[in-house]
């Protein structure tokens, strides 16, 4: 995919869109989409969308767009894309990725095929800790080059906003280096990147047996330095057995909040942790959520914390169990979908693949998967005012799919039907 960089994108009209999935709210309910609202896509048939300066200015039918007086007067200045009946939707918001690593984890892959569990692999020196050496050794330029290549690949699959975590360095220097690499890559990519400090990913070997000391390093060194240099908007913690306890998670949340950073957490992937005591920190998102009790589901239904489901991890780990998306959605919990792109448990950059798994293994309807992959991802990144739906005033972030019905996006699994992606008004196409 070639990205054409221009300082100020020309006005852009997408016209003759077979299905334009605007995701304009269909109800007056504020906040992230929940319950029945999750499947309301507000589709315009034979639609058109005009953007100027990277922002959407009008959304409607092709007929209205071509009659628009401004458009008729300025037609020569406008880049016009005839979508010829294809589907256009908001660019995907991949709200959970770990792109700062050096190589794949092929030994873990084979061990798992031979029957080893997540924890057995970690105990044998594989898992997250085996990615540390490469990142600690790598230069910032090499890491940022890898991140940029990943962002471009993601755009080729329709993603325009990416949350990118550090977390494979786990020293103050290498976590800062990872975030600097994300920032350098983001400055060369026309899409939007939200950086997250995941210093509390696992306890590194040097601190084994004294996790409290490592948590102090995260709280008193990493977080203040990251906040001061504005290298991240969020702080994440892997709260689970084998990683960090609920108490340690709260210490990290406390430090993050004290330094003006928002929080999110990996929660309930391997075991259940009661959630009530975290809510005072207003976490933007709890991610994974394979294990969650009924009381906490009712509690989350009353909060704006998004449950971010990452079925790619369940798929790649060969698990039979997936998060109970139906129960979450039907109970009113706002649900988002993300890839969890990482070298150990979910090496995919494809949001359409995550959506397909959501449909087949978590019984989400294609419409619910679309909203979870766009507007609710935006909510989980505090970007819902700019991203996740096609409405005037929002960023011109679109994905064009070479299909005639949006349900084909999760249906044709493992095939990339995204033909072009618009990132803040800039066109990146595959031809
Ligand atoms: Zn993750």
Q: How far is the CA of 22 from the centre of ligand 1 (A)?
A: 29
Q: How far is the CA of 366 from the centre of ligand 1 (A)?
A: 23
Q: How far is the CA of 67 from the centre of ligand 1 (A)?
A: 47
Q: How far is the CA of 97 from the centre of ligand 1 (A)?
A: 6
β-pairing verdict for 262-267 and 234-239 = parallel
Q: How far is the CA of 169 from the centre of ligand 1 (A)?
A: 15
Residue 22 contacts residue 41 (beta carbons within 8 Å): yes
CA 315 to chain centre: 17
Q: How far is the CA of 141 from the centre of ligand 1 (A)?
A: 23
- pLDDT at 400 exceeding the cut of 60: yes
Q: How far is the CA of 398 from the centre of ligand 1 (A)?
A: 25
Q: How far, in Å, CA of 154 to CA of 360, rounded?
A: 22
> pLDDT tens digit string along 268-310?
999 999 999 999 999 999 999 999 999 999 999 999 999 999 9
Q: How far is the CA of 12 from the centre of ligand 1 (A)?
A: 36
Give the confidence band of 429 by pLDDT, cuts at 50, 70, 90: confident
Residue 314 contacts residue 268 (beta carbons within 8 Å): no
pLDDT of residue 196: 98
> pLDDT tens digit string along 342-396?
999 999 999 999 999 999 999 999 999 999 999 999 999 999 999 999 999 999 9
pLDDT of residue 430: 66
Q: How far is the CA of 152 from the centre of ligand 1 (A)?
A: 20
Give the confidence band of 431 by pLDDT, cuts at 50, 70, 90: low
> pLDDT tens digit string along 178-230?
999 999 999 999 999 999 999 999 999 999 999 999 999 999 999 999 999 99
The secondary element (H helix, E strand) that includes residue 109 is: helix 106-113
Burial (0-12, 13-18, 19+ Cβ within 10 Å), 215 = buried
Q: How far is the CA of 298 from the centre of ligand 1 (A)?
A: 24
| pLDDT, average across residues 166-186 | 98
Q: How far is the CA of 289 from the centre of ligand 1 (A)?
A: 11
Q: How far, in Å, CA of 182 to CA of 195, rounded?
A: 7
Q: How far is the CA of 68 from the centre of ligand 1 (A)?
A: 46
**Dihedral angle over CA of 373, 376, 378, 382, nearest 10:** -150
Q: How far is the CA of 183 from the centre of ligand 1 (A)?
A: 19
Q: How far is the CA of 6 from the centre of ligand 1 (A)?
A: 33
Q: How far is the CA of 306 from the centre of ligand 1 (A)?
A: 15
Q: How far, in Å, CA of 426 to CA of 22, rounded?
A: 19
Q: How far is the CA of 24 from the centre of ligand 1 (A)?
A: 29
Q: How far is the CA of 36 from the centre of ligand 1 (A)?
A: 28
Give the confidence band of 119 by pLDDT, cuts at 50, 70, 90: confident
Give the confidence band of 246 by pLDDT, cuts at 50, 70, 90: very high
Q: How far is the CA of 267 from the centre of ligand 1 (A)?
A: 10
Query: Picking from 5-9, 21-25, 121-125, which range would have the lowest pLDDT averaged per residue?
Result: 5-9
Q: How far is the CA of 201 from the centre of ligand 1 (A)?
A: 9
Q: How far is the CA of 71 from the centre of ligand 1 (A)?
A: 44
Give the confidence band of 5 by pLDDT, cuts at 50, 70, 90: low
Angle, CA of 306, 352 and 405, to the nearest 5°: 110
Q: How far, in Å, CA of 75 to CA of 88, rounded?
A: 21
Q: How far is the CA of 216 from the centre of ligand 1 (A)?
A: 22
pLDDT of residue 2: 52
Q: How far is the CA of 302 from the centre of ligand 1 (A)?
A: 25
Q: How far is the CA of 308 from the centre of ligand 1 (A)?
A: 10
> pLDDT tens digit string along 255-266?
999 999 999 999
Give the confidence band of 118 by pLDDT, cuts at 50, 70, 90: confident
Q: How far is the CA of 138 from the centre of ligand 1 (A)?
A: 21
> pLDDT tens digit string along 82-94?
999 999 999 999 9
Mean of per-residue pLDDT scores for the chain: 95
Q: How far is the CA of 294 from the centre of ligand 1 (A)?
A: 23
Q: How far is the CA of 98 from the centre of ligand 1 (A)?
A: 7
Q: How far is the CA of 82 from the centre of ligand 1 (A)?
A: 38
Give the confidence band of 316 by pLDDT, cuts at 50, 70, 90: very high
> pLDDT tens digit string along 65-110?
999 999 999 999 999 999 999 999 999 999 999 999 999 999 899 9
Q: How far is the CA of 340 from the centre of ligand 1 (A)?
A: 5
In order of 48, 102, 307, 362, the CA distances from 310 in angstroms are 32, 22, 10, 11
> pTM above 0.85?
yes
């Amino acid at each position: 995919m070639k990205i054409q960089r221009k300082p100020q994108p020309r006005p852009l009209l997408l016209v003759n869109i077979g299905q334009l999935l605007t995701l304009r709210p269909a109800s007056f309910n504020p906040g992230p989409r929940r319950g029945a609202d999750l499947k309301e896509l507000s589709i315009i048939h034979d639609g058109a969308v005009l953007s100027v300066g990277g922002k959407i200015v009008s959304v409607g039918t092709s007929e209205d767009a071509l009659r628009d007086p401004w458009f008729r007067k300025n037609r020569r200045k406008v880049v016009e894309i005839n979508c010829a009946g294809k589907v256009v939707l908001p660019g995907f918001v991949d709200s959970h990725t770990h792109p700062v690593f050096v190589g794949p984890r092929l030994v873990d892959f084979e061990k798992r095929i031979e029957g080893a569990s997540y924890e057995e692999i970690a105990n044998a020196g594989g898992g997250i800790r085996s990615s540390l050496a490469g990142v600690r050794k790598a230069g910032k330029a090499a890491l940022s080059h890898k991140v940029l290549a990943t962002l471009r690949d993601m755009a080729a699959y329709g993603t325009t906003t990416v949350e990118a975590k550090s977390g494979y360095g786990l020293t103050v220097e290498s976590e800062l280096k990872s975030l600097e690499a994300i920032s350098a890559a983001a400055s060369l990519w026309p899409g939007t990147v939200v950086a997250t400090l995941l210093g509390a990913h696992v306890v590194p070997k040097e601190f084994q047996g004294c996790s409290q000391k490592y948590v102090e390093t995260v709280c008193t060194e990493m977080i203040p330095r990251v906040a001061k240099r504005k290298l991240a908007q969020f702080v994440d913690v892997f709260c689970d057995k084998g990683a960090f306890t609920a108490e340690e998670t709260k210490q990290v949340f406390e430090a993050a909040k004290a330094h003006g950073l928002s929080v999110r957490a990996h929660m309930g992937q391997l075991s259940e942790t009661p959630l009530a005591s975290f809510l005072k920190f207003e976490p933007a998102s709890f991610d994974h959520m394979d294990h969650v009790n009924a009381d906490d589901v009712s509690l989350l239904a009353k909060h704006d914390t998004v449950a971010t489901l990452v079925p790619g991890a369940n798929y790649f780990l060969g698990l039979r169990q997936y998060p109970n998306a139906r129960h979450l959605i039907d109970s009113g919990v706002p649900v988002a979908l993300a890839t969890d792109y990482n070298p150990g448990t979910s090496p995919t950059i494809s949001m359409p693949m995550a959506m397909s798994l959501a449909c087949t293994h978590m019984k989400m309807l294609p419409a619910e998967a679309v909203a979870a992959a766009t507007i609710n991802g935006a909510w989980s990144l505090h970007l819902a005012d700019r991203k996740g739906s096609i409405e005037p005033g929002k960023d011109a972030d679109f994905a064009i799919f070479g299909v005639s019905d949006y349900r084909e996006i999760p249906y044709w699994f493992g095939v990339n039907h995204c033909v072009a992606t618009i990132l803040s008004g800039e066109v990146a196409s595959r031809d």
